[in-house]
């Protein structure tokens, strides 16, 4: 498996210059990352790239920028490495923050956060939205200092079962009160309609695109879909370019 990579491409979304020759996503050159599970054996190889990624975001807010308290990561299609990028970004943000950071696994069809952090199955995102447990009871600590997680939940559910904008908005508002930064591992917006809906409730969203696989047109379609949901697209991350 190729190693994931990450970097902010731009603050204004994916745009082409008028008259420019269209080029594939993989021509945007970014730096390589180490791709490992994030259990107790996790080490910080490549953290400088995630530090640079955080510096490319309005976090912490500076010079009157709108505070970035909630951030979503999504993609055009499944398998582009969103969960790994989100997890490593959350670990690095927690290392740089004075307050707690939360990672939320909102990809209910393909949850990955429990596996990445080597955690047992437990209540999580879906259980809270279905009102099967309180939010505070579903949040768990990890081996990483100042990093907590809200995993996907105890049972597999279809995203439409929990696509309740009112409940999701209430959850997002509550989490913003308790954490310095909340990072959402979202489903692929190109495949799951609710991903864009949830992205529209967040302070910002980053699109993860896989090199040699995701074409420019697909990325453009997803950015337009996010825009229609009033999501604040902050930029893009290129993954697996090697």
Crossing angle of helices 47-55 and 82-96, in 10° steps, is: 80
Contacts of 165 (CB under 8 A, 6+ apart): 197, 201
Each residue's pLDDT tens digit, 158-173? 777 788 889 999 999 9
The yes or no reply on domain 47-239 and CATH 2.60.200.20 is no
Each residue's pLDDT tens digit, 50-66? 888 888 888 876 555 67
Cα dihedral across residues 141, 237, 176, 62: positive or negative? positive
Segment 127-139 mean pLDDT: 94
Domain map of the chain by residue range?
Answer: 47-239
225 to 24, 131, 222, 233, 236: CA distances (angstroms): 20, 29, 5, 11, 15
Each residue's pLDDT tens digit, 30-46? 223 333 344 444 444 55
pTM, two decimal places: 0.82
Strand order in the sheet with 204-210: 140-141, 147-150, 101-105, 181-185, 70-75, 204-210, 233-239
Which residue bears the tokens 């299609």? 77
**Predicted confidence band of residue 216 (pLDDT cuts 50, 70, 90):** confident
């Amino acid at each position: 498996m190729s190693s994931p990579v990450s970097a902010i491409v731009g603050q204004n979304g994916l745009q082409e210059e008028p008259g420019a020759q269209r080029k594939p996503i993989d021509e945007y050159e970014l730096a390589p990352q180490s791709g490992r599970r994030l259990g107790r054996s996790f080490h910080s190889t490549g953290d400088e790239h995630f530090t640079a990624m955080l510096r490319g975001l309005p976090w912490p807010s500076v010079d009157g920028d709108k505070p970035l308290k909630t951030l979503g990561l999504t993609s055009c299609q499944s398998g582009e490495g969103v969960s790994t990028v989100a997890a490593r970004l959350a670990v690095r943000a927690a290392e740089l923050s004075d307050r707690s950071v939360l990672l939320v696994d909102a990809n209910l069809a393909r949850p990955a956060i429990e596996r990445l952090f080597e955690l047992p199955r437990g209540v999580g995102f879906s259980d809270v939205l279905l009102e099967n447990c309180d939010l505070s009871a579903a949040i768990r600590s990890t081996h990483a200092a100042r990093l907590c997680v809200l995993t996907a939940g105890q049972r597999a559910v279809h995203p439409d079962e929990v696509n309740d904008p009112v409940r999701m908005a209430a959850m997002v508002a509550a989490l913003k009160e308790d954490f310095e930064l909340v990072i959402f591992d979202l489903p692929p917006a190109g495949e799951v309609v609710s991903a864009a809906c949830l992205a529209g409730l967040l302070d910002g969203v980053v699109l993860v695109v896989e090199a040699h696989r995701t074409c420019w047109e697909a990325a453009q379609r997803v950015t337009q879909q996010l825009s229609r949901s009033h999501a604040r697209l902050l930029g893009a991350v290129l993954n697996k370019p090697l």
